[in-house]
Amino acid sequence: SDNEESNINKSDETKAVKKAFYVPIERNKEIQEARMELPICAEEQIIMETISNNPVVIICGETGSGKTTQIPQFLYEAGYSSKDNDNPGIIGITQPRRVAAVSMSKRVAQELSLSEQEVSYQIRYDATISPKTVIKFMTDGVLLRELANDFLLSKYSAIIIDEAHERSLNTDILIGAVSRVLKLRAELSEDDGGKIKPLKIIIMSATLRVSDFTQNKNLFDMVPPIINVSARQFPVSIHFNRRTPNIDYVSEAFKKVCKIHTRLPHGGILVFLTGQNEISILCKKLRRKFPYLTQYKSKQLLEEEKIVGDVESLTAKEADVEIGDLDIGDKEVGEELFDTDSEDSEENDEITVDERSGPLYVLPLYSLLSTHAQLRVFEAPPEGTRLCVVATNVAETSLTIPGIKYVVDCGKVKERRYDVITGVQSYVVDWTSKASADQRAGRAGRTGPGHCYRLFSSAVFNDQFQQFTIPEVYRMPIEGIVLQMKAMNIDTVYNFPFPTPPDRNHLRKAERLLQYMNALDENGGITELGRVMATFPVAPRFSKMLIIGQQHGCLPYIIAIVSALSVADPFIKDYHLDISMNSDDDVEEEDNEDFDVRYNELSEIQKEAISQKEHRKLIRKRFYDVQKKHAGLDPTSDILKLLNVVGAYVYEGGTDEFCERNFVRPKAMEEIHKLRRQITNIVQVNCPGVDVCLDSKMKPPSIVQLKAIRQIITAGFIDQIAIRKGLIDKSSKIFSSARNVEYCTMWADDNVFIHPTSILYHHKPPDFVVYQELHRTSKVWMKGITVIESSWLSKLGKSLCTFSKPVDLQVKSKKNKDTEKIAYVIPSFGPKNWELPPIKI
Ligand code: ADP
Ligand code: MG
């Protein structure tokens, strides 16, 4: 590795003495042995010397080489968090994913034989940090927020930024920001005779594609040294499908796993699919085909997995380098078996239990699975079974599963796309990148030669796969990041050292939105309001709602709503509960007519599943009926449904039993609860004397409060107003339901529609609404809708009223007639409790 050495500053070599204060560690024998197997441990000396001699070091190493678990330990042992040392801070390490922060801190604590108070984590909902903390794992968002309060990051002596290759939005911003912190700390430590110490930055990547960090002249003064940890990688034979199946890669994956399991030697199987829906379906099919558990136990396993979430992992895993040792030509095992495809009808969809081959130990793996269920993949599979993990791209670089020999790759990834101008979002399942497909293949070659079965042809791979995945900064809303930067006193965001800068229009739009919310003044400087908004760990829209909520006596409700909106949808989707016939719930709802025709062709089991689904619909509807029961009002908002869930959950004692009965995710409810408490604490610290009762004291809102809540929601989504098109056209057509009724928004050129999952879909279409999100499938849909009154706009959205034509038209004509004041609220004449109404059939 001449290459690496040449990167290291030779003249400094003399300074590369060992740290004076080594922290002695006693590791248990088993752990010590496992560590010694890790490629990164062989490089400890050179890594630590390089870190000692350079302010910034980049470490690249194949997934599983030991970066995340070992580098913090190296630093710890070298005294980087020892109070006796000349580095008086602690070691911080950031992760783009919460699960990784939690599970890796647990693992490192275990390896160091230290407690959770010493090796701790901090994520949005939870923290184990204490004065004794020496190593702190956190999400990148947590460190960004800390920067707003302490731009010197003075409590850290070293910051490790992990998974930088993923190019998550927060990670990119962090790298830009710490490049500035570094300079400041270096300058101050020279000026000030040693009170402030220089900071060490370690950027870690699973791939060698780090030129955006090294070649960017705005970022670091010197090109940082790159240490490439070469992991032992066994050859992986790649087998392409001869043909690319049209859509049904889940069935294709099922067939492939069946073949591997029944015909090929032992070794774990890892299947890459795009989302939880597909994963649930494949797991169920495989478990039925190769059962290994008694009825009881397998039920228990399924129960555990019900704690699943519904929102797909939002970031695409990007992998940037070709795996050196991939041996495409290798044909040692069963090539013939796999190249000829789908013709053989041996495994058709009708599942018969296969008793000849042994049982298969099938485990799902995706971001929102409970931590407990997630950690099962690290345990050895039960005696006599073969491990089969069905994963999203979480398994691509974040978590390394031991013992994988076969990879089955559908080649697809589900990505959130976001149109920066219109704000329209969509989840798109599309081909992943070449780099990422190679990264997936590499998972098969960790413990011995392996095989990767790609469920697509080499022609498709060559012609249709992009080289790399696009960084998130190009495809996510950035107003939250812009507000964070302003709070760090970075006034000209255009000059910020982004590893790859976003489009100027994108930045301008984010600034403008923050101006509408009065978080920024007309020159783009942060306002007092903006500073307060930046202290809440939620999106700017939501912090704005919190602040207005406080001014109008609705704070407990707004805290509950904002917490629920910030957590992934708490309602369990149907596809987690039965083998769904349709993978996209949007499509399912749109194609109702088709659906009736197909109904007759369904089996009894499938019909039963549908009747259960109808039952679930009724159960869920009760969360809307609450409002009718309490206040005698027709439904006015999908967002109020969330408040009702939170209220009913607390009222019934916050039990898992409640969640099960109502098809709600317990994990989501817990996160909502934690976030409520956290926000309440922030309010109590920032605004002493404000009454923010939690839980038991929060009564259902009165009619007046309900109206105020809708006004506050309007303020938060002030740029997301939609107007019924008929109103603008002055058409006199009357609709009885909102189905197919067109709306205009400020941003999107297309007309938009009320999504079938909205309660308002079934009612008379309102004239004015605000929406939470736009989603594009066959049409552009509004989700999370709240009915508003046009008269509120002149008050809440002053700056918008002359901005957009449609809004202009309506508001101007009404402006003088009724500039209604926002209702000022006297709390406490609401109904008594949150009891849900009976189920209505
Ligand atoms: P990298 O960050 O380079 O991808 P890691 O440090 O995450 O590598 O993993 C190093 C090794 O530690 C892997 O072999 C992985 O399987 C193992 N490992 C990580 N977490 C756990 C855990 N909770 N239990 C058992 N082994 C683990
Ligand atoms: Mg890692």
> Mean of the pLDDT values across residues 691-705?
71
- Per cent of the chain over pLDDT 70 is 76
Q: What is the DSSP string of 482-520?
A: HHHHHHTT---GGGS--SSPPPHHHHHHHHHHHHHTTSB
Residue ID of nearest Cα to ligand 1 atom 24: 378
> Mean of the pLDDT values across residues 281-286?
92
Provide the pLDDT for residue 601: 57
Residue ID of nearest Cα to ligand 1 atom 21: 107
Provide the pLDDT for residue 423: 63
* Residues paired with residue 408 on neighbouring β-strands, in sequence order: 271, 453
Nearest alpha-carbon partner for 292 in 375, 347, 355: 355
Q: How far is the CA of 409 from the centre of ligand 2 (A)?
A: 21
Q: Which residue has the higher pLDDT, 515 or 16?
A: 515
What tokens appear for 476 in the block? 């996510």
List, for residues 38-89, the tens digit of each pLDDT value: 999 999 999 999 999 999 999 999 888 999 999 999 999 998 987 766 666 8
Q: Exposed, middle or buried: residue 345 (CB in 10 Å: 0-12, 13-18, 19+)?
A: exposed
Residue 257 has pLDDT above 90, yes or no: yes
- Angstrom distances, CA of residue 64 to CA of 1, 94, 230, 395, 436: 20, 17, 11, 11, 15
Q: Which atom of ligand 1 is nearest to the CA of 446?
A: 14
Nearest alpha-carbon partner for 787 in 816, 754, 817, 810: 754
Please give the backbone phi and psi of residue 630, each rounded to the nearest 5 degrees, phi first. -80, -40
Instruction: Give every CB contact of residue 464 below 8 A, 6+ residues apart in sequence.
Output: 431
Q: How far is the CA of 455 from the centre of ligand 2 (A)?
A: 27
> Mean of the pLDDT values across residues 415-421?
68
- Ligand positioned closest to the Cα atom of 164: 2
Provide the pLDDT for residue 107: 92
* Confidence tier at 384 by pLDDT (50, 70, 90): confident
Provide the pLDDT for residue 375: 79
Q: Which atom of ligand 1 is nearest to the CA of 104?
A: 20
Provide the pLDDT for residue 832: 55
Q: Which residue has the higher pLDDT, 157 or 348?
A: 157
Q: How far is the CA of 177 from the centre of ligand 2 (A)?
A: 22
- Ligand positioned closest to the Cα atom of 61: 1
List, for residues 649-688, the tens digit of each pLDDT value: 988 888 888 888 888 888 889 888 888 888 888 777 766 6
Provide the pLDDT for residue 698: 77
Q: What angle do CA 52, 69, 169 make, to 5 degrees?
A: 85
Q: How far is the CA of 69 from the centre of ligand 1 (A)?
A: 6
DSSP 170: H
> Mean of the pLDDT values across residues 419-427?
64
Amino acid identity at 304 = E
pTM score of the predicted model: 0.73
What tokens appear for 816 in the block? 């003088």
**How far apart, in whole angstroms, are the C-alpha atoms of residue 442 and residue 451?**
9
Q: Give the mutation target among 43, 69, 203, 387 for probing the ligand 1 site: most ligand atoms within 8 A of CB.
A: 69
Provide the pLDDT for residue 827: 29
Residue ID of nearest Cα to ligand 1 atom 13: 64
- Angstrom distances, CA of residue 159 to CA of 71, 90, 135, 147: 11, 9, 10, 12
**How far apart, in whole angstroms, are the C-alpha atoms of residue 619 and residue 599?**
23
Strands lying side by side in the sheet with 135-139: 126-127, 119-123, 135-139, 90-95, 156-161, 200-205, 56-61, 226-229
Q: How far is the CA of 443 from the centre of ligand 2 (A)?
A: 13
Map residue 413 onto helix, strand or coil. strand
**How far apart, in whole angstroms, are the C-alpha atoms of residue 818 and residue 833?**
34
Provide the pLDDT for residue 428: 74
- Ligand positioned closest to the Cα atom of 376: 1
Amino acid identity at 623 = F
Q: How many residues does the chain have?
A: 841
Q: How far is the CA of 400 from the centre of ligand 2 (A)?
A: 8
Q: Give the mutation target among 371, 399, 400, 404 for probing the ligand 1 site: most ligand atoms within 8 A of CB.
A: 400
Q: How far is the CA of 675 from the centre of ligand 2 (A)?
A: 27
Q: Which residue has the higher pLDDT, 674 or 133?
A: 133
Task: Indicate the average pLDDT of the chain.
Answer: 78
Provide the pLDDT for residue 132: 93
Q: How far is the CA of 125 from the centre of ligand 2 (A)?
A: 22
Provide the pLDDT for residue 820: 35
* Interface predicted TM-score of the whole assembly (ipTM), two decimals: 0.98
List, for residues 431-457, the tens digit of each pLDDT value: 999 989 999 999 999 888 999 999 999
Residue ID of nearest Cα to ligand 1 atom 6: 66
Provide the pLDDT for residue 390: 96
What tokens appear for 756 in the block? 């079938």
Q: Which atom of ligand 1 is nearest to the CA of 229?
A: 3
**How far apart, in whole angstroms, are the C-alpha atoms of residue 580 and residue 575?**
5
* Confidence tier at 93 by pLDDT (50, 70, 90): very high
Q: Exposed, middle or buried: residue 241 (CB in 10 Å: 0-12, 13-18, 19+)?
A: buried
- Angstrom distances, CA of residue 694 to CA of 669, 677, 680, 697, 727: 15, 8, 8, 6, 42
Place of tokens 């317990």: 666
Residue 561 has pLDDT above 90, yes or no: yes
Q: What is the DSSP string of 99-124?
A: HHHHHHHHHHHHHHT--TTTEEEEET
What tokens appear for 42 in the block? 């062989």
Map residue 286 onto helix, strand or coil. helix
Place of tokens 């297309």: 750
Q: How far is the CA of 41 from the centre of ligand 1 (A)?
A: 13
List, for residues 166-197, the tens digit of each pLDDT value: 898 899 999 999 999 999 998 888 776 667 78
Q: Which atom of ligand 1 is nearest to the CA of 70?
A: 6
Q: Which atom of ligand 1 is nearest to the CA of 40?
A: 3
Pocket of ligand 1 (CB under 6 A): 38, 61, 63-70, 103, 107, 375, 378, 400, 402
Q: Which atom of ligand 1 is nearest to the CA of 103?
A: 23
CA atoms within 13 A on the CB side of 307: 21
Region of 784 on the Ramachandran plot (φ > 0 left; ψ -120 to 50 alpha; else beta)? left
Kindly report which listed range (312-316, 409-413, 451-455) carries the lowest average pLDDT score. 312-316
Provide the pLDDT for residue 834: 63
Q: How far is the CA of 395 from the centre of ligand 1 (A)?
A: 12
Residue ID of nearest Cα to ligand 1 atom 23: 107
- Ligand positioned closest to the Cα atom of 104: 1
Residue 351 has pLDDT above 60, yes or no: no
**How far apart, in whole angstroms, are the C-alpha atoms of residue 376 and residue 365?**
9
Residue 308 has pLDDT above 50, yes or no: no
- Ligand positioned closest to the Cα atom of 377: 1
Nearest alpha-carbon partner for 171 in 473, 443, 373: 473
Maximal C-alpha separation, the chain: 85
> Mean of the pLDDT values across residues 145-157?
91
Strands lying side by side in the sheet with 268-272: 236-240, 450-454, 404-409, 268-272, 386-391, 360-365
Q: Give the mutation target among 32, 38, 41, 107 for probing the ligand 1 site: most ligand atoms within 8 A of CB.
A: 107
Place of tokens 């109206």: 707
Q: How far is the CA of 430 from the centre of ligand 2 (A)?
A: 25
Nearest alpha-carbon partner for 289 in 185, 386, 164: 386
List, for residues 609-656, the tens digit of each pLDDT value: 677 777 777 887 788 777 777 777 778 899 998 998 998 898 888 888
List, for residues 786-816, the tens digit of each pLDDT value: 999 888 877 776 555 443 333 333 333 333 3
* Confidence tier at 752 by pLDDT (50, 70, 90): very high
What tokens appear for 175 in the block? 């790298």
DSSP 130: -
Provide the pLDDT for residue 182: 93
Q: Which atom of ligand 1 is nearest to the CA of 397?
A: 4
Residue 331 has pLDDT above 90, yes or no: no
3-state secondary structure 602-641: CCHHHHHHHHHHHHHHHHHHHHHHHHHHHHCCCCCEHHHH
Residue 316 has pLDDT above 90, yes or no: no
Residue 219 has pLDDT above 80, yes or no: yes
DSSP 174: H
> Mean of the pLDDT values across residues 337-364?
58
- Per cent of the chain over pLDDT 90 is 33
Residue 268 has pLDDT above 90, yes or no: yes
**How far apart, in whole angstroms, are the C-alpha atoms of residue 511 and residue 79?**
43
Q: Which residues of 584-621 are buried (b: 16+ CB within 10 A; e: fewer)?
A: bbbebbbeeeeeeeeeeeeeeeeeebeeeeeebeeebb
In 84-197, at which residue ranges do the beta strands (DSSP E only) sit?
90-95, 119-123, 126-127, 135-139, 156-161
What tokens appear for 523 in the block? 């020159």
Provide the pLDDT for residue 319: 21
> Mean of the pLDDT values across residues 141-145?
91
Residue 98 has pLDDT above 90, yes or no: no
